[in-house]
Structure 1
Amino acid sequence: MDTKRISSTLEQALSTQMNVELFQSHTYLSYGIWADDKGYGGIANFLMRHSQEEREHALKFMKYVLNRGGKPTVTGQSATPKDPQNMTDCFNLVFKHEVENTEKIYKLVDMAFEEKDWATWNFLQWFVKEQIEEETLAMDLIDKLKIAGGDQASDESLFTLDKTLGETPDEGELARNATSENP
């Protein structure tokens, strides 16, 4: 008896996204190593925690495909991008990666909608929400660095930023959580 409850097209697309998430994990890891090498242990910790989070996203895709009777395919990974030139470049690249990932998630949502695969469409809504958080967090990184002085930040400002990011939660503040007491 065939127990597969996902189209081959979506099975392949979700497998591809699983591999994208693994690549994102490696990218965050490489940026974390770069930051640590530059002496920014807090920023490295922040980026490495996000590396782990991206790996967990990959596992969600893997498990979902398996739960629908499909078989995800792990592919070889491309080399991670070259090291950022500076902290501004690093945070801008993080934001760029998140926006690109959001676009990929939206394409998957469109595919599920077109196929009327409501289980997959529903599964992907978690990732839509997650990408809002990821983009917000990336924008916050850029903003915090600008406030610290950007590429001309003093050592003291960078030290404070490094310490702050080492202690920053992994989720961004979202509008849906705002209240009149806590905008």
Structure 2
Amino acid sequence: MASNVKKILSKKSKFHELLQAQVGNEFSASQQYIALAVWFDNEDLPRLASHFYKQALEERNHAMMIVQFLMDNDIAVAIPGTETPINEFKTPRDLVDLALRQEQQVTDQIVALARAAREESDYIGEQFMQWFLKEQVEEVSSMKTLLTIMDRADGNMFYVETFLTRETVGDEGGDAGAPTAAGGAL
């Protein structure tokens, strides 16, 4: 399906370079979420583990959406390595705090991408970034909510587990307006 899309962007730009770097950022975020999920899983906190396993897949899918956009626009793609995730934490709150800071950092990266596309009058790139901007609002909001719940639970992880069983935190990944992920979203 995507291979039939007419390739209309040809020149390499700052936006395209930042977009290529964002592939690595998204894969690194995915790896960090896996590390968080495994930590929670090892602590017998299945709802928190499940939440972060899903987050890891979501970040992987974001990377593959960018890969598909680059391929559709005839821009060479190089899949980068990832940063080593943090694996050691003192408290469960530390993990959610790290997740919030990570989402805030990704938001800054997405804003920089949208700005670069706009400055280069890359209207196609700017339109592509709109979905990611909207997604980051949800990502930061959901991590803030989870951190608030962690603080209210005051160390009682069963309250947090119960909250995650009862409530939906974040989207469920079913946005029909989402860009296509290379190879299909997982």
Query: Would you say same fold, with TM above 0.5?
Result: yes
Matched, 1:117 2:114: no
Kindly indicate whether the alpha-carbon contact (under 8 Å) linking 2:26 and 2:59 is maintained by their aligned counterparts in 1. Answer: yes
Which stretches in structure 1 are left out of the alignment for 5+ residues?
173-183
Paired residue for 2:60, among 35, 38, 55?
A: 55
Deviation at 1:169, TM superposition (A): 2.9
- Cα distance, 1:170–1:123 mapped onto 2, change above 3 Å: farther
Deviation at 1:160, TM superposition (A): 3.2
Amino acid at match of 2:33: Y
Q: How does 1:38-49 map to 2 (within 5 A)?
A: 38-49=43-54
Partner of 1:87: 92
Kindly indicate whether the alpha-carbon contact (under 8 Å) linking 2:103 and 2:139 is maintained by their aligned counterparts in 1. Answer: yes
User: Displaced runs of 4+ in structure 1, greater than 4 A?
Assistant: none
Which stretches in structure 2 are left out of the alignment for 5+ residues?
1-6, 172-186
- Cα distance, 1:171–1:159 mapped onto 2, change above 3 Å: same
Look up the SS of the partner of 1:5 in the other structure.
coil
Partner of 2:164: 165
Amino acid at match of 2:27: L
CA shift digits 1:6-42 (9 cap, x unpaired): 5343222111101100110000000000011111111
- The structure with the larger Rg is 1
Q: Which has the higher helix share?
A: 1
Kindly indicate whether the alpha-carbon contact (under 8 Å) linking 2:146 and 2:169 is maintained by their aligned counterparts in 1. Answer: no
Question: Could you tell me the TM-score, scaled by structure 1's length?
Answer: 0.84
Kindly indicate whether the alpha-carbon contact (under 8 Å) linking 2:37 and 2:50 is maintained by their aligned counterparts in 1. Answer: yes
Kindly indicate whether the alpha-carbon contact (under 8 Å) linking 1:6 and 1:69 is maintained by their aligned counterparts in 2. Answer: no
Identity %: 23
- Cα distance, 1:143–1:3 mapped onto 2, change above 3 Å: closer
Deviation at 1:166, TM superposition (A): 4.7
Kindly indicate whether the alpha-carbon contact (under 8 Å) linking 2:33 and 2:53 is maintained by their aligned counterparts in 1. Answer: yes
CA shift digits 1:105-159 (9 cap, x unpaired): 111111101100000001001010000000000000111111212x3x3xxxx22
Kindly indicate whether the alpha-carbon contact (under 8 Å) linking 1:25 and 1:51 is maintained by their aligned counterparts in 2. Answer: yes
Number of residue pairs matched by the alignment: 165
- Cα distance, 1:3–1:170 mapped onto 2, change above 3 Å: same
Q: How does 1:63-142 map to 2 (within 5 A)?
A: 63-142=68-147
Kindly indicate whether the alpha-carbon contact (under 8 Å) linking 2:27 and 2:60 is maintained by their aligned counterparts in 1. Answer: yes
Q: Between 7-16 and 135-144, report the one with greater CA deviation.
A: 7-16
Deviation at 1:4, TM superposition (A): 4.2
Look up the SS of the partner of 1:79 in the other structure.
coil
Kindly indicate whether the alpha-carbon contact (under 8 Å) linking 2:110 and 2:133 is maintained by their aligned counterparts in 1. Answer: yes
Task: Give RMSD over aligned pairs.
Answer: 1.7
**C-alpha distance in 2, partners of 1:132/1:110?**
16
